[in-house]
Amino acid sequence: MEGTAVATDIRCFAGSVGLLIDRTSHREQVLSTVWLLDDNKAATCAHSMLLFTEFLGALKVRFPATGEERGIVSAHFHPKFRRRTTTQMAQQALIDSTPMLPLQKHNAVVLALSHSLPNLPTEVVIEVNRRVTPPAPPRDHGMGGSLSEIDLALVIQTITNARKEGLLILSDERNRTIARIFCQEGKVVHAQLESLINEMALYQIVSMKLDGSFYFCSTPDSNMQGVTAIARPAESLLLEAHRRMDELAKLKERLGGRLGDGDGLWARTDPHIKLNMLAPEVQEAAKALWPLLDGAIPASQLWRIARLDDYAVFSALVELLRTGQIEDRSHESIKFTMKTAALPVGAQTPLSPWDSISSLVVDPSGRPLIKTGSLLGSLRAQDPNHLVHNLALLPESAGSPLFKNGLVIGMHCGGLPPDPGAGAADNSNLQQMLWIDSILQCLTEGSDVELARKLSKTGLEIPKPGESKRPDPGCREVARINCPKCGASSLESARFCKTCGQKLIQEIQYQPKRSEGQARASGGSSWKAALASFAVLITLLGAAVGALMCLPASPNIVPVEYVSVPETPWIKVVAMLAKKPTAEERGGFAELPKSAEAEHGDIMYLKVNPEESGYVYILWKETSSPTAKMLYPITDKDDNAQLGGEEFTCPRVIGEQLADKNVEVNVFALGPPAGVDTCIAISSPTGSTLQSQSTLKKETNVRESPAINSVYEKADAFLSNWPFEGVLVDAKMLGEGIFKDPDKRVYLTRLKIAHH
């Protein structure tokens, strides 16, 4: 469908927005939101279906606005999406809080749909449930039971009265962790339920009347560093929790009519809240809730994004309704003809920070829920694919389309997790969006190039002669937010305030660790080991941040102008080495550990993996040589932008693969004298003049020039000054006229190979 940039009420597209549903779940769990690209293609977030890729028949897509249900035939993931790593995260998320799961790069998949829903064999239901159900904890190594048989308050009282120290884990019918409560010295120290922590989490846990299972294991750590411990005694907490639960039903009734079930959609009647009109005890809750009252989130779900328990939410709603500051919009009639059809795509739409954008979600009853907010900018420098917006949405809304001027310009992924100790209200609703171009790349990867071309057409008017050039599509300006500590506006590397070093959001890159599910399978002592390991990991991360905090600038910024450390490396290089007697044997190469030494006569090649798309330059300096050489690029064909994730070898042989693929690869030998040879890899978003102003030495197949040696020396100096594997520097710092855009940043990393 060819996009048209006209004002459109996007509620008319509700028939094209569906829900991805797990058919094997007793309650048919909603996994994510999907939207149509054409009659039989739909897009959503890849993470939501990773555990079902071998059993696509266990899933279905329901379009609530039309009542239509479809099966799934195939799934085409984004070519740069890391399925293996993210699958590990999805498995860990079954038993551990993993907020970075939906935030992985290129988190997109295109589903091919069928118009019929296949039968679901019993053996598939059994196998899927086996895969998504973590092992039950061993009862002989801790206290456990069913919450339908033992009241949660009694469980907590038993633990605190015995002054036990450890973690109480609450799980659903599939043993998936719902909540955690940490007890110590007769107190409830910490609690966590989704985005709620401490008192609010405990109050909500009690009010939900969970009927799953519980397990208590001894551990000396809550794994919630940076969060202030609960001060109130356990008895007082439980009394308050039950008081709030008892009064909650009355609060819901005071909202009136059908809304008593919490299904109301409340919206502001005025842009500004009048706090002085409200009862003092609800003013703080009303202030936190106010930005979320736009008629797009059912009242019963507001606790999941407001960081308030249901009692605080409904207390504030009752007061806001009493003072006429909100109104219910749940009964608004929809005057549009809603049908299942492809959504209009704006692949060529230019985007800028603070553009007005809207999300479209359809709840299970078929109501279209529209939320309007702003695009804030890109998450990382020079990355137009991963953007930040401020439309606070529920976890199941991952995959929902985001619109600008009636055209889909992106897909919602999930919320960026704020630092739990920062107390930053302004940062609690930062969300990640995937640019629409990523969806088109999925189509291309799935051999649906024609549909990708069709969707990428633009309906924007072409500028007339003499008019300014239309901006490039997408958005490359880094998002800016206000630091809760110093007020400065920044989002440097998506984590820290560059002025004072305050952590703005948690780390969103996955760090594999031993999961609770593994610990459950190996007994109580394994639980202790797993939790202790996690505590050590958190301590080490805290120490690293603390060390960086001692620097004059922020934790993620090196205190030298033009130099910074990226959140993830742009390029990785490893040395593949083989002993000379096995040099001619295919498959004889193995990665050389960084701490190991090679011997003279060993042969090797470099394995180069560009994590980010861009130009790659590999420089090499031997111990015996006074000058550096360039190993890559050698030919004009090589001196082009490399696609991120496409690994290659150096020295490179065009058209040939690695030795472990039973094909020969170019190699070079390590020779005397003893010393350290050094490789420096440069990743740049723009090209360089290094090849054009160098001479090719055909006998050694390398390039040499004073410019190459100068760039090597400067890059080596940057890397020698700071204890990081790689740094970003302004291109102009490596020499005038070296890079075609000197104001861009280039990434430098180094590999040293010792030999004797």
- Percentage of the chain with pLDDT > 70? 77
Span 425-442, pLDDT tens digits: 444 578 999 999 999 988
What confidence score (pLDDT) does residue 565 get?
72
Question: Cα dist. 291→277, 302, 425 in Å?
Answer: 18, 11, 11
Question: Cα dist. 542→223, 477, 507, 546, 630 in Å?
Answer: 12, 30, 12, 6, 39
Span 616-660, pLDDT tens digits: 999 999 988 889 999 999 888 888 888 777 888 888 653 334 444
Mean model confidence pLDDT for the chain: 79
Least confident of 7-21, 523-537, 708-722: 523-537
CA distance 219 to 229: 16
> What's phi and psi for 728, nearest 5 deg?
-100, 135
Q: State both tokens at 756.
A: 């004797």
What confidence score (pLDDT) does residue 470 get?
47
CA distance 127 to 123: 6
Span 67-91, pLDDT tens digits: 999 999 999 999 889 888 888 888 8
Under the banding of pLDDT at 50, 70 and 90, the label for residue 665 is: low
Q: Which helix (H) or strand (E) holds 541?
A: helix 524-549
CA distance 326 to 370: 17
CA distance 407 to 348: 10
Least confident of 37-41, 88-92, 518-522: 518-522
**Which has the higher per-residue pLDDT, 25 or 275?**
275
CA distance 610 to 593: 20
**Which has the higher per-residue pLDDT, 420 or 636?**
636
Under the banding of pLDDT at 50, 70 and 90, the label for residue 142 is: low
Closest to 171 (Cα-Cα) out of 125, 217, 124 = 217
Q: Which helix (H) or strand (E) holds 87?
A: helix 83-93
DSSP 364: T
CA distance 573 to 568: 14
CA dihedral 717, 721, 723, 724 (to 10 degrees): -40
Q: Ranked by mean pLDDT, which of 327-331, 526-530, 623-627, 662-666 comes out on top?
A: 623-627
> Does the structure show a pLDDT above 90 at 472?
no
What confidence score (pLDDT) does residue 666 get?
74
CA dihedral 660, 661, 664, 665 (to 10 degrees): -70
Give the global pTM. 0.66
CA distance 365 to 350: 35
> Does the structure show a pLDDT above 50 at 705?
yes
Q: Average the pLDDT over 740-745 and give the result.
A: 84
Residues facing 18 on adjacent strands: 34
> What's phi and psi for 516, nearest 5 deg?
-65, -30
Closest to 371 (Cα-Cα) out of 387, 355, 390 = 390
Closest to 598 (Cα-Cα) out of 538, 534, 674, 518 = 674
Q: Average the pLDDT over 277-304 and give the result.
A: 92
Span 377-419, pLDDT tens digits: 888 777 888 999 999 999 999 999 999 999 999 999 998 876 5
